[in-house]
Amino acid sequence: MKTIVVYYSLEENTDFVAKKIASELNADLLRLYPKKVYPKKGFSKYFWGGKSAVMGESPELEQYSFNAQNYDLVIFGTPVWAGTFTPPLRTFINENNLSDKKIAAFACQAGEGNPKKFTKLKNALGIENLEAELALINPKERQSDSNEKKIIEFCQKLNGDK
C-alpha cells in the first residue's frame, strides 16, 4: 500500500510529526505552503489564522506535485486552529479527488483542542470514518516517550499491526 503524508505546519510541530510518521511507514511527504504566508507571532497569528479557519477559507497554495492515483492511503497532518484543521488542507481537499482513498489524520495543538477537529475534517472530505486519528500537544517542544508511543501506535494501526 503506497502512502503519502500531506500536511501544513506553521510552527514546525506538524512537520516534526509528519517526518516521524513518514519514516515509520516509508511514506512520501507533501508539505503545503500557502502563497500568502500566515503570521507566526503575536495577536495577528491568532487573528488571521483563526479567522481563516473559522471562515472555511481556501487559500491559494504554492505549486505542488500530487497524483492521487499513486496512493492508497493519505494521511493529513494539521495544527488545530480555532478548533478545526488549517485552511491549506481545505484547499488541498478541494483541489483533489480522494473519494477512493483510505484517510487518516493527526493534529498538533497547544492545549486539549476541540474534540470535533477530526469531525470537521471528515465532513470536508465527505467521509464517516478515518483509518486512524492522533492528537498531540506541542510534540516538538514537548518531546516525550508518551508522544513517541502514540506515534508508533498510530502507525501500527495503519499497518494493521493492531
When mean pLDDT is compared across 55-59, 105-109, 126-130, the lowest value belongs to 55-59
Which three three-digit cell numbers place residue 57? Answer: 477559507
CB neighbours (10 Å) of residue 145? 7
Name the pTM for this structure. Answer: 0.91
Q: Phi and psi dihedrals of 43, rounded to 5?
A: -60, -40
Q: What is the predicted pLDDT for the residue at 113? A: 62
pLDDT above 60: residue 47: no
- CA pair distance 60, 76, nearest whole angstrom: 18
Evaluate the CA torsion angle 23, 160, 88, 40 in order and state its sign. negative
pLDDT above 60: residue 82: yes
- Is pLDDT larger for residue 52 or for residue 14? 14
Q: Helices 117-125 and 87-95 meet at what angle, rounded to 10?
A: 20
Percent of the chain with pLDDT over 90: 65
Percent of the chain with pLDDT over 70: 88
- CA pair distance 83, 62, nearest whole angstrom: 25
- CA pair distance 12, 22, nearest whole angstrom: 15
Task: Tell me the pairing of strands 3-7 and 133-137.
Answer: unpaired
**Of residues 148, 135, 25, 59, the one with CA closest to residue 5:** 25
* Segment holding 79, helix H or strand E: strand 73-79
Give the model confidence (pLDDT) of 88-111 as tens digits.
Answer: 999 999 999 999 999 999 999 887
Q: What is the predicted pLDDT for the residue at 38? A: 74
- Is pLDDT larger for residue 60 or for residue 114? 60
**End-to-end CA separation in angstroms for the chain:** 17
pLDDT band for position 59 (50/70/90)? Answer: confident
